[in-house]
Amino acid sequence: MAGDGTGFQLLITHPLTLAPAIDIRHFLCYAFIMSSYDLINPKTIRRRYAIVTFLVWFATALPLAVSVLLVQSRGLSLTKIGVVMGCYSLVIVLLEVPTGGLADAAGRKRVALVAHGLAALSNLALLFAFSLAGFMVAMALYGVSRALSSGALDAWFVDALLAADPDYDLQPALAEVETVSLLALGMGTLAGGALPRLFAGLPADGTAVLSPMAVPIAAAFVVRLLLLPVIAGLIRENRPSGVGPDRRGSSIRAVPALVRDAVALSRANGRLALLMAASFVSGFALLSIESFWQPFFAALPAAGATPTILLGFIMAGSFLAGMGGNLLAGPVGRRLRPQHSAGDGRAYALVAGLARLAQGLSMLFLSATAALFPAAVFFWLVYLTSGVGLSPHAALVNAEIPAERRSTLLSIQSLAFYAGSFAGGAVLGRVADQWGIPAAWAIGGALLLASSLPYALLNHDRFRSKKISAADSTEMTDLSIRSISSGS
C-alpha cells in the first residue's frame, strides 16, 4: 500500500486511521456540543484546554525526529540549517510582545485561530521547500505562528479559571497543562519516527515532495487543520459587548500602548524582572541542549552507524521525563514546605529554585559524560528537573500579572526566553565549534546554577515592595488609550 502512495492518500483523507478507536466526526461533534455550554466550573475549563493543548503539541512533535534529516536530504548544510533556525528565533524576538498585545486587544481566541492557521501553512511550505529561501519562508511563517500563539490561550485559560473561582490555585492546573503538553510531545515524537518506516515505499528523500521523512510533516499539517474547528468549538471567550469594527480597530491601534505599559510594568515590578531574568538564562542554556544533542549522541561509539531509532527513543524519553517532572512539582512543594498553603508563593519559589539548581548540575554532569547510558540519564534529568520547575515558575509569574495585561506580559516572558535562545545559539554555537559540545554544555550548566539566585531573592523586601497592583495597571492603560484617541 505504501509503495503506490495509497497509504499516504489514506493518511490525508482519514488522519486518525492509526487510532481507529477515535472517530474524527464524533470528536468534532463533541467539541461543538461542548461549546454550547458556559464555562461554569474549572474542571470543564481544564478538560477543554487539555484537548486543545494535546493537539497543538502532538502536531508540533510529529516532525521533530526527522525534520533536520529531511532538510539535509534536500541539500542544506548544517550551517544553512543554523541560518534557518536563526530566522525562526529572530521572527519570534521581533513579534513576541506586539502579538501578545494584539491578543489582549483583539481577542485571545481570534488570535489563536490565526496563529494555528499560519502553523498549518508553515507545514505546507516546509513540505514543498527545496532551497534555503523556501525553508526560511517556512520557518518565518512558523515563527509568526509561535509569536501569535504564545500567551493567547494561556491567558484565556488562567483568566477563565480565575473567573470561575477567584481563589483557584493555579499551580496544579498549570502542571496538568505542562504534563499534557509533554505527553503529546512524547507520543508525537514516537509516531513521527514510525511514520517514515510505514511509508518506506515512497520516493527517496530529497527527490520528491512526498517522501518517507516528509510524511510526519504532512501528518502535522492534517492535525493542525483539525485543531482549528476544535479551538472554535471548545474555547469560549467573553469579549466586551458592542465591539464592532470601529471599536476593534481602536483596540488594535492600542497595541503599542499596551506593549509600552506592559514593559513598564515588568520593569517596575522587581519580582517580575527577576523571573524574566531566570527565563532568559534558561533559554540561553537550553538552546545548546536542543541544538547539539543529536550530533553528540550520534557520535558516541555505542550509537552505531544508524542511530535514528536511538535518537527517537532518547527524544521521547526527554519529553516523558519532563512530564514526570511536572507530576512531581506539587508533591515536592508540599514535601519541602508543608507548613504553607498550596498557593503559597514562597513554596513555589523554593521548588523552582531547587529545580534550577538540579538542572544545572545535571547539565554539568552531562558535559562530563562520554558513555551512552549515563549521558542519556543525565540528558533526561535535565528535562525532568525542567518539568519540576515549570509550573511553580508559571504560577509565580501569573501572580504578578494583572488580568488585562496577561497575554502581553506572558509574551514578554516568552520573549525573554527566546531572546536568551537567540543569544545562546550565537555564543554557545561558536563555543561548540571551537572547543566541543561538552564545553558549551558546561557553560550552560554553570549559568543554570547561577539562575537559581533570582528565586532566592523573590521574597527580599526590596522586590516585594515593588509589586504593581491591577488598579495601577488599569490607570496606566486608560491614560494610554485616551492619549491614542486624542491623537487620532
Mind listing the pLDDT tens digit for each residue in 97-110? 666 567 666 777 88
The reported pLDDT for the residue numbered 487 is 36
Region 283-308: what's the mean pLDDT? 77
Q: With bands split at pLDDT 50, 70 and 90, how would you rate the model's confidence at 362?
A: very high
Cα 299 to Cα 293: distance, rounded to the nearest angstrom: 10
Cα 400 to Cα 469: distance, rounded to the nearest angstrom: 8
Cα 6 to Cα 371: distance, rounded to the nearest angstrom: 43
Cα 12 from chain centre: 26
Question: What is the distance in angstroms between the CA of the first residue and the CA of the last residue of the chain?
Answer: 62
C-alpha cell at 281: 538564562
Region 361-365: what's the mean pLDDT? 96
Cα angle 92, 451, 288; round to 5: 50
Mind listing the pLDDT tens digit for each residue in 120-147? 999 999 999 999 899 999 999 998 998 7
Q: Assign 3-state DSSP to the chain and report helix, strand, coil percentages, each to 5.
A: 80, 0, 20
Mind listing the pLDDT tens digit for each residue in 214-248? 999 999 999 999 999 998 888 877 654 444 444 44
Region 84-107: what's the mean pLDDT? 71
On average, the pLDDT of the chain sits at: 75
This model's pTM is above 0.85: no
Cα 87 to Cα 134: distance, rounded to the nearest angstrom: 12
Cα 131 to Cα 115: distance, rounded to the nearest angstrom: 25
Residue 482 vs residues 71, 224, 245, 251, 293: alpha-carbon distances, Å: 50, 39, 19, 12, 51
Contact criterion met (CB below 8 Å) for 59 and 119: yes
Q: With bands split at pLDDT 50, 70 and 90, how would you rate the model's confidence at 400?
A: confident
Higher-confidence residue of 22 and 263: namely 263
pLDDT of 420 higher than 50: yes
The reported pLDDT for the residue numbered 2 is 37
Give me the half-sphere count of Cα atoms (radius 13 Å) on the Cβ side of residue 76: 22
For the residues of 61-105, what is the DSSP string, one character each?
HTTTTTHHHHHHHTT--HHHHHHHHHHHHHHHHHHHHHHHHHHHH
What domains can you pick out in the chain, each with its CATH number? 9-238 (1.20.1250.20), 258-483 (1.20.1250.20)
Q: With bands split at pLDDT 50, 70 and 90, how would you rate the model's confidence at 443?
A: very high
- Burial class of residue 337, CB neighbours in 10 A (0-12, 13-18, 19+): middle
